[in-house]
Structure 1
Amino acid sequence: MGCTLGIDIGTYQSKGVLVDETGRVLAEARRDHRMIVPRPGWAEHRAEEDWWADFVHITRALIAEAGVAPGEIAAVACSAIGPCMLPVDAAGRPLMNAVLYGVDTRAAAEIEELTGEIGAERILARCGNALTSQAVGPKILWLKRNRPEIFAAAAKVMTSTSYLVMKLTGECVIDHYTAANFAPLYDVARRDWCDDLAPDIIPLERLPRLMWSAEIAGHVNDAAARETGLAAGTPVTCGTIDAAAEAVSVGVAAPGEMMLMYGSTIFVIEVTAERVRDARLWYAPWLFPDRHAAMAGLATSGTLTHWFRDHFARDLPRDEAFARLAAEAETTPPGAGGLLCMPYFSGERTPLHDPKARGAFFGLDLTHTRGHLYRALLEGIAFATAHVLETYAEAGATPERIFAVGGGVQNTLWLQATSDAAGVMQRIRARTLGASYGDAFLAALAAGAVDEGDIARWNPEARRVEPRDLPAYRALYPLFKALYVQTRDIAHALEHLADGGTAPA
C-alpha cells in the first residue's frame, strides 16, 4: 500500500504523522500557532495563516523526514478543531478569522432567541442537540446580524476540516459527525441539512456537501501539490473533527466504548448503539452509518494549565514549568488543603451549558502555596470531568471501557485525580499520538488497506489507571457542584459588568 498521511489542526498546535500499513510511524511533525482572543468570550483562528500554513509545513516536513516519494502516499486524511464557523468567498478565500467551537460564546443572544422561537424540545428532537455555544447555526446568525457585509459576500460557510479539504481538492464537503453541530440546520433522523426550523439563518446551498468521514472527497489538485509536495491525484478523505479522529486512534469503535481526551479542553465521546437523548450532552451520527455518538466537553482544561503556567510560573524555565509545577503540587495532599477551583474560565460547556460561568479559587488562606493552587486547578478539572461522567450515567449511557488520550495523559497527577474523582478505570494505548494517528488510520481504511478492527493491532493497550477511594474527594465533590449553584448569579452579574453593564439593583 505504501503509507498514509494524517494531519490534525488543534487549538494551539498542529500535528502530523506518516504511517505504514502496519501502523508503524515513519515520521512525526508539529507546528505551533495561537488562539486569538479579541475580547472576552471570543476565540478565533486565521484559516490561511494557521490551518493551511500548518498543513503545508507539516506535510513537507513529514515527506522529508520519512524519505518517501510523494507517490508512495496512498491517501490523506485530516481533522481539525470543530465545529468552527468560517465564511469564504466564491474563490474559497476566508472573509474573516474563523470563529472557534464552544469556547467562543459570542452568539449567546442568538442561542437564547432561537431556542425561544423554535422550542427546546423541538430542537432536541430534530437536531439531537440543544442550542449551546457549540452550535454553529447561532454563530452564522450572529454573522448575518453583526457582519452583514461579510455574510453577503460569503459563497460558503464551512468548518475547519472543510477548509483544508477544499484547499487540497477544490471540493466543499463536511462529514455528518461535524454537520450535526450545525444545529438547528441539520436533521439527525434524515441525516441531511434542514431549514424549516430556522429558515432565515442561511440558504442551505451555502453549506458544504455532506459525506461520511472515511469517504474519498476528492484528489489533490495541481495547486495543492505544488504547495504541499504531495503528488497530484492523491486521494483525500472527507475528514472529521479532531476529537473523533482521536477516538479512532485509541480504538473507540464499539457501543459502550468511550474516549476521554485530555487536550486544550476535555472532550468525551462514547459510541452507542442507539441515539442518546439528553439535552446536557451532544449527539451526532458516528463516523460510520450504523452507529451513534454521545459527546461532552469542558470549556477549559489544558488551556487552563497553560494560563496558570504563563501567569504564575514565569520564574520557571518554560520547557520545565509543567513538571516543576506538578512536583510542587505533589507535595500537597489530595484536596489541596481545602482549596477548590471552579475551572469555568471560558464559561462552561457540558453539563452546565453556561457561557456566563466564571472561574474561581475558593477557600484560600495564607498557608496556601503555588503548589496548592496548581493541585486545586487539576482537581477542579477532574471534578468537572466527574460531573460529565455522572451525566452520562444519568442519561443511561454508563461507559463499559474508557480510553484516555491526549497530551494530558503525560500529566500523571491530572490523570490519577480524574480516576479518583470519577471512580473510573482508564485504559491507555501504547501510542497516544492523538488525532493525526487516527487520521492516518482513516486514510488507510479509505484506501482499503485495513479493516476497522485493525486499530487494536496498530495500537495495543499499554497500561491502566485504577481509581483510589479518597475521603478528601468524596467530601469535596458535592461542595464543588454546590459552589457553582451558589455563586452562579454573582458570576453572571460579574460577566455583565465586564461587558460594560451596570450592577443589578
Structure 2
Amino acid sequence: MRASPRKPMPEQRAVTVGVDIGTYETKATAVDAIGAVVATAKCPHQLSLPAPGFAEHDAETVWWGGLVTAVRSLLDTPSMAATSVQALCCSGIGPAVVPTTAAGRALRPAILYGIDTRAGDQADQIEQRLGAATITARSGNQLSSQSAGPKIAWLAQHEPDVVAATAVIHTCQSFLVHRLTGQVVMDHATASYFHPLYSLREHRWDTEGCEWFVRPEQLPSLAWSDQVAGRLLPEPAAQIGLPVGTPVLVGSADAPCEALACDVEQPHSAMVMYGSSGFMIAPTADAMPGAGLYCAPGLTDGSWLVAAGTSTAGTATRWLTQLLRLGGEPGGSEFVELVALASLAPKGSLGLLVLPHFSGERTPFDDPAARGVIEGLSLAHGRAELARAVLEGIAHSMVLALASMLAHADTGGQHRRLSAIGGGTANLVWLQAVSDIAGLPQQVFKSPGASYGGALLAGRAIGLLERNVVPECRQPTLTIDPDEAAHAAYVHDHERFSQVYTALRQVRTA
C-alpha cells in the first residue's frame, strides 16, 4: 500500500518522522526529501529489572509515553510544523513481548529482547516437544534468549490469567502502530524472531505444536516494514500533535533501521551497533542458519539479513560507572570519565581479563546462564586497569559474535566494510579495542540512528525520498584503523577469553 505525500504549507519542508524506542531513551528524527535531518528530539526512560534475569519496560509509560513526549518535543523545534509531516515510522527494541487487550492496552509490563533470560526452561520444553530439527527447519534458528516464543510460554505457565485475557501479543513497534492506527500488524523481520512461531521460508506464522502456550489469533497480521499499516486516528493524533490521517508505516525493530541509517544495504557491508547490548547485522543472499546467529527477512520483500548479538555491552559500562562512582557532573560525564580512566591503563590491562556475561551471552555461546568474570586480578591492578579490562572484555565478546556472523554471511572471502553506530561509538577506547582485536577497520557514523533509518524508510515508502539519494548523515565521520602490534598482542587474550568461558561452563554444568 502506497500513500501520496500531502502538500505542506508554504515555506515548510515536507518531512517524514522516525521514532525509535531504545532501552534507555526514545528518539525522534525528522528528515526532508533529500534525507537531511531537520530536527531531532529525545526523552530518557528507565529499564526495569524486577528479578534476576528479568528485563522489562512499562509499555504504556515508556513506549507510548516516550513516543508522545518525543514527537511533541520534535514539533516544538523552530524548524518543524505538524502540517509538514508526511508519514511516521516507529522502531523499537525487539523482539519484545507484551500481551494486550483487543484495544491494545498492555496487560503487564513488556518482556524485553535477549537481555531478558527468564525463559530458559520454556525453551528446553519447546525443544523437547518439537525437536531441534523441526525448530531449525521452521525458524531457520535455534531457540535462545533472543527468541520470543519461549517468553510467551513463560507467561502461559507463570501468568495464565494474563494469557487467557490476551487478545494480541505485540512487540514494541506493533504496539505503537496499534495505538496510532487501530491496525494489528507486525513486520516480518521482527516476527521471524518469534521462533518457533514463524516459518522463515514461507513468511507466515506457524504455531503447530505450540498450541499449549499460544493461540494463532493472538498473533498480529504480517506485512513488510516499508508498507503503510494505516492512518493516524483522531485520539492519538491529538495526543502526539500530528494531523489526523498521517500515514503510519509498519516499521521494524531498531537494528534493521540502524543498518539502513548507516547505509548497510549492499553486499559486503555490515553494521556493528554499540548500544546497551552489542548487535551486528549484514545483508545476505538468503537465510543462513549458524551457531548463535539470527537469520531474518529484511525490511522489504525479498531482502534477507543475518545478525549476531551479545547480551551485555553498554549496560556493563553503565554498571561500571556506578561501581566506580564516576560522574560528578550531570549530562553523561560518567562515561567521559570512564574513557579517561581506562586510557590511563595499557592495552591488555596488565593481564586482567573480564568476561562481561552479566546477563548471559548470545552469539556464539548461546548461554543465558553465563555470568560475569574477572580473571587474573592481582594487587597490581587498580581502577584504571579494571575500567580498561571491562571495555576490552566487551570488545572480546563483540568480536567473537562478529566473527561468527561474517563466517556465515555471503562475503565470498571479500573484504567487508564495517559501519559502527550507536551511543557507544563516543567511547574511543571501546571502539579501538574492537578494531585491534578483530584486526578490521571501522567507519563510524554519527547519524541519529534507528529513528533516522525509520524516517528514511518512511520517505521512501511515500515517494518523498528517492532510494538513490545518499544523505550527508549516511557518510562516515571517522575511521578506526586497527593497530597491528596491538592486534598481535590481543591474540592470546582473545583465545584466553574463550578458554576461560569454556572451562567455567564445564564446571557450572558438571
Counterpart check, 1:385 vs 2:401: no
Residue in 2 that maps onto 1:72: 84
Q: How does 1:61-460 map to 2 (within 5 A)?
A: 61-314=73-326, 316-318=328-330, 319-395=332-408, 397-398=410-411, 400-429=416-445, 431-455=446-470, 459-460=474-475
Question: 1:491, CA displacement in angstroms?
Answer: 4.9
5-14 or 483-492, larger mean C-alpha shift: 483-492
Kindly indicate whether the alpha-carbon contact (under 8 Å) linking 2:291 and 2:363 is maintained by their aligned counterparts in 1. no
In structure 2, the CA distance between the partners of 1:427 and 1:315, relative to structure 1 (3 Å rule), is: closer
Kindly indicate whether the alpha-carbon contact (under 8 Å) linking 2:447 and 2:473 is maintained by their aligned counterparts in 1. no
Kindly indicate whether the alpha-carbon contact (under 8 Å) linking 2:39 and 2:80 is maintained by their aligned counterparts in 1. no
SS in 1 for 2:76: helix
354-363 or 392-401, larger mean C-alpha shift: 392-401
Aligned partners of 2:31, 2:409: CA distance in 1, in Å? 38
Residue in 1 that maps onto 2:72: 60
Question: 1:213, CA displacement in angstroms?
Answer: 0.3
Aligned partners of 1:66, 1:115: CA distance in 2, in Å? 55
In structure 2, the CA distance between the partners of 1:225 and 1:93, relative to structure 1 (3 Å rule), is: same
Question: 1:120, CA displacement in angstroms?
Answer: 1.4
Aligned partners of 2:237, 2:289: CA distance in 1, in Å? 44
Deviations 1:221-249 (A, max 9, x none): 00011100010000000010011111110
Deviations 1:9-39 (A, max 9, x none): 0001111111111222221111111111111
SS in 2 for 1:271: strand
Kindly indicate whether the alpha-carbon contact (under 8 Å) linking 1:386 and 1:422 is maintained by their aligned counterparts in 2. yes
Q: Structure 1: which 5+ residue stretches go unaligned?
A: 494-505
Deviations 1:96-117 (A, max 9, x none): 0000001111110010111122
Q: Percent identity?
A: 40
Counterpart check, 1:484 vs 2:507: no
Give, as a single letter, the amino acid of the residue that structure 2 aligns with 1:215.
Answer: Q
Residue in 1 that maps onto 2:11: none
Kindly indicate whether the alpha-carbon contact (under 8 Å) linking 1:185 and 1:197 is maintained by their aligned counterparts in 2. no
Give, as a single letter, the amino acid of the residue that structure 2 aligns with 1:347.
Answer: G
In structure 2, the CA distance between the partners of 1:315 and 1:296, relative to structure 1 (3 Å rule), is: closer
Aligned partners of 2:98, 2:438: CA distance in 1, in Å? 37
SS in 1 for 2:74: helix
Aligned partners of 2:433, 2:259: CA distance in 1, in Å? 21
Aligned partners of 2:263, 2:78: CA distance in 1, in Å? 25
Kindly indicate whether the alpha-carbon contact (under 8 Å) linking 2:327 and 2:335 is maintained by their aligned counterparts in 1. no
Q: How does 1:23-42 map to 2 (within 5 A)?
A: 23-42=35-54
Residue in 1 that maps onto 2:489: 472
Question: 1:195, CA displacement in angstroms?
Answer: 1.5
Residue in 2 that maps onto 1:502: none
Question: 1:410, CA displacement in angstroms?
Answer: 1.0
1-10 or 40-49, larger mean C-alpha shift: 1-10
TM-score between both structures, scaled by the size of structure 1: 0.94
Kindly indicate whether the alpha-carbon contact (under 8 Å) linking 1:42 and 1:106 is maintained by their aligned counterparts in 2. yes
Aligned partners of 1:392, 1:261: CA distance in 2, in Å? 14
Question: 1:70, CA displacement in angstroms?
Answer: 1.6
Aligned partners of 1:337, 1:161: CA distance in 2, in Å? 45
Give, as a single letter, the amino acid of the residue that structure 1 aligns with 2:401.
Answer: V
Give, as a single letter, the amino acid of the residue that structure 2 aligns with 1:418.
Answer: V
Question: 1:71, CA displacement in angstroms?
Answer: 2.0
Give, as a single letter, the amino acid of the residue that structure 2 aligns with 1:370.
Answer: R
Kindly indicate whether the alpha-carbon contact (under 8 Å) linking 2:19 and 2:67 is maintained by their aligned counterparts in 1. yes
Aligned partners of 1:453, 1:420: CA distance in 2, in Å? 34
Paired positions, count: 492
SS in 1 for 2:104: coil
Give, as a single letter, the amino acid of the residue that structure 2 aligns with 1:488.
Answer: R
SS in 2 for 1:264: coil
Give, as a single letter, the amino acid of the residue that structure 2 aligns with 1:371.
Answer: A
Q: Structure 2: which 5+ residue stretches go unaligned?
A: 6-13
Aligned partners of 2:490, 2:38: CA distance in 1, in Å? 43
Question: 1:396, CA displacement in angstroms?
Answer: 5.3
Question: 1:274, CA displacement in angstroms?
Answer: 2.0
384-393 or 365-374, larger mean C-alpha shift: 384-393
Kindly indicate whether the alpha-carbon contact (under 8 Å) linking 2:23 and 2:276 is maintained by their aligned counterparts in 1. yes
SS in 2 for 1:348: coil
Question: 1:336, CA displacement in angstroms?
Answer: 0.4
Give, as a single letter, the amino acid of the residue that structure 1 aligns with 2:34.
Answer: T
In structure 2, the CA distance between the partners of 1:276 and 1:381, relative to structure 1 (3 Å rule), is: same
Question: 1:83, CA displacement in angstroms?
Answer: 0.3
Question: 1:397, CA displacement in angstroms?
Answer: 4.2
Residue in 2 that maps onto 1:503: none
Give, as a single letter, the amino acid of the residue that structure 2 aligns with 1:354.
Answer: D
